[in-house]
């Protein structure tokens, strides 16, 4: 569709019987459930061409859902006293360890409680390159992905870090638990990622509108039906690791959007953690690298699987 505010979803078998608001929250992760419920109640959702105002409606396989997202309103982003785990800080930048469940910046239905709200309370100045909604944000990770992010305090630092991202010189190593065993110990997925032509709320490997995307992976430990892997980003497309792992038939444990909808091993969301972040300091040009511990939930699932790998 030409209208960028219209999104189509076709229901597959694994979502059969799921509430409408739950389905929309799975595929539009940055929006809050309450915001999506308001859109449903306001008649912004159609099922098979018929408006549906019930958030509790149970979808069926083959249903075609059309969601209209209203034009965004101007947001006044306010500082909020939210605890931050700061790994490093100086006059130019911050490195923070974002918890699972926190949105990076304000967006549809999420005007507060984001990482940006927390950083604005902590810092009296941030770079202005990305505007009032995303001040200081050089790159982002998904709401339900935990781990390290760099934040620029001034425009000079922002430009330097953004240039390093564009040149693929920043180290970004993730830890993930994925389905199935691998025949190889390591490999590379080089496949373009863009908006899924069949479901515009998702990303997909596609040549139609895809941009270059390269992910390097390495097996850390095998558990038969699951594997603990390291994934290193060469590029940084939306949902890149999640899409690439699903593309090679190893979707992330807990990822109901790109993998099995059924929860197993207690994983409510994707088991993905941004563990290592390295870059050249924008002022000194010195290479700096930071490491973060796995979240408690992630470690518990590794323990359930009998994991013995030591970082």
pTM score:
0.81
The mean-pLDDT minimum among 142-146, 178-182, 195-199, 203-207 falls in 195-199
**pLDDT at residue 309, rounded to an integer:** 86
Identify the pLDDT of residue 164: 92
- Same domain flag for 256 and 227: yes
Which has more pLDDT, 173 or 128?
173
In a domain, 220, yes or no: yes
Residue 165 has pLDDT above 80, yes or no: yes
pLDDT at 24: 85
280: in domain: no
pLDDT bucket at 30, cuts 50 / 70 / 90: low
Q: Considering the domain boundaries, does residue 282 fall inside one?
A: no
**Of the candidate ranges 25-34, 193-202, 282-291, the one whose mean pLDDT is the lowest:** 25-34
CB 187, CB 161: distance < 8 Å: no
What residues are labeled active site? 142
Q: Reply yes or no on whether the pLDDT at 7 is more than 90.
A: no
As a whole number, mean pLDDT of residues 26-33 equals 71
Q: Could you say which DSSP state residue 2 is in?
A: -
Percentage of the residues of the chain whose pLDDT score is greater than 90: 48
Whether residue 20 is found in the same domain as residue 97: no
> Of 68, 87, 118, which residue sits at a domain end?
68
**What CATH number is associated with residue 120?**
3.30.2350.10
Confidence class of residue 175 from pLDDT cuts 50, 70 and 90? very high
Q: What is the pLDDT of residues 249-289, one digit of tens each?
A: 999 999 999 999 888 998 989 999 999 999 999 999 999 99
188 and 266 co-located in one domain: yes
Q: Is residue 279 part of a domain?
A: no
Residue pointed to by tokens 């564009």 = 166
Domain membership of residue 10 as a residue range: 6-68
Whether 115 maps to a domain, the answer reads yes
* DSSP structure class, residue 116: H
Please state the rounded mean pLDDT for residues 132-143: 76
- Residue 41 sits in a domain of what CATH number? 3.10.290.10
Q: What is the pLDDT of residue 180?
A: 96
Task: Please report how the helices 20-27 and 33-41 are oriented relative to each other, as an axis angle in degrees rounded to 10.
Answer: 130
> Are both 22 and 87 inside the same structural domain?
no
List all residues 6 or more positions away from 303 whose beta carbon is below 8 Å from its beta carbon.
none
Instruction: Indicate if the pLDDT at residue 197 is higher than 90.
Output: no
Q: For 204-244, write each residue's pLDDT tens digit.
A: 999 888 999 999 999 999 999 999 999 999 998 989 999 99
Same-domain pairing of 152 and 182: no
Query: Are 136 and 158 a contacting pair, CB within 8 Å?
Result: yes
Same structural domain for residues 117 and 191? Answer: no
Are 178 and 268 part of one and the same domain?
Answer: yes
Contact 257, 242 (CB under 8 A): yes
Kindly state whether residue 17 falls inside one of the protein's structural domains. Answer: yes
Query: Could you give the CA distance from residue 108 to residue 96 in angstroms, rounded to a whole number?
Result: 23
Contact 41, 51 (CB under 8 A): no
Rounded to an integer, the average pLDDT of 107-134 is 73
pLDDT given for residue 310 in this prediction = 80
What tokens does 14 get?
């694994």
Q: Calculate mean pLDDT across residues 53-65.
A: 88
Nearest to 243 by CA among 253, 235, 251: 251
Do residues 140 and 104 make contact, with C-beta atoms less than 8 angstroms apart?
Answer: yes
pLDDT higher than 50, residue 4? no
The pLDDT value given to residue 134: 61
Split at pLDDT 50, 70, 90, the class of 1 is very low
Q: For the segment 75-93, what is each residue's pLDDT rounded down to a tens digit?
A: 567 888 999 999 999 999 9
SS3 220: strand
Q: What pLDDT was estimated at residue 86?
A: 94
Is 229 inside a domain boundary?
A: yes
The domain tally of the chain equals: 3
What's the confidence (pLDDT) of residue 13? 78
Are residues 216 and 257 located together in one domain of the fold?
Answer: yes
Residue from 26, 34, 102 nearest 254 by CA: 26
Residue 72: band (very low, low, confident or very high) from pLDDT cuts 50, 70, 90: low
d(CA 260, CA 241): 16
243 and 291 Cβ atoms separated by less than 8 Å: no
């Amino acid at each position: 569709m030409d209208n960028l505010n219209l999104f189509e979803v076709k229901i597959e078998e694994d979502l059969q019987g799921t509430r409408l608001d739950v389905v929309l929250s799975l595929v539009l992760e940055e929006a809050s459930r309450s915001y999506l419920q308001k859109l449903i109640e306001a008649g912004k959702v159609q099922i098979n061409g018929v408006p549906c105002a019930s958030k509790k409606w149970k979808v069926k396989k083959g249903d075609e859902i059309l969601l209209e997202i209203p034009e965004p309103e101007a947001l006044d982003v306010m500082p909020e006293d939210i605890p931050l785990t700061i790994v490093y800080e100086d006059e130019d930048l911050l490195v923070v360890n974002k918890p699972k469940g926190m949105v990076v910046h304000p967006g549809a239905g999420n005007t507060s409680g984001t990482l940006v709200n927390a950083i604005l309370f902590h810092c009296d100045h941030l770079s202005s390159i990305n505007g009032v909604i995303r001040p200081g944000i050089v790159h982002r990770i998904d709401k339900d992905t935990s781990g390290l992010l760099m934040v620029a305090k001034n425009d000079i630092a922002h430009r330097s870090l953004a240039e390093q991202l564009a040149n693929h010189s920043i180290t970004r190593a993730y830890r993930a638990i994925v389905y199935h065993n691998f025949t190889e110990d390591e490999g590379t997925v080089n496949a373009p990622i863009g908006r899924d032509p069949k479901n515009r709320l998702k990303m997909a490997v596609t040549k139609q509108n895809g941009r270059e995307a390269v992910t390097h992976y390495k097996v850390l430990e095998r558990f038969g039906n699951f594997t603990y892997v390291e994934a290193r980003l060469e590029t940084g497309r939306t949902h890149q690791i999640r899409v690439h792992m699903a593309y090679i038939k190893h979707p992330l444990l807990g990822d109901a959007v790109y993998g099995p909808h059924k929860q197993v091993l207690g994983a409510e969301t994707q088991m993905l953690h941004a563990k290592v972040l390295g870059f050249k300091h924008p002022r000194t040009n010195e290479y700096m690298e930071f490491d973060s511990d796995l979240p408690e939930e992630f470690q518990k699932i590794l323990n359930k699987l009998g994991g013995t790998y030591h970082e």
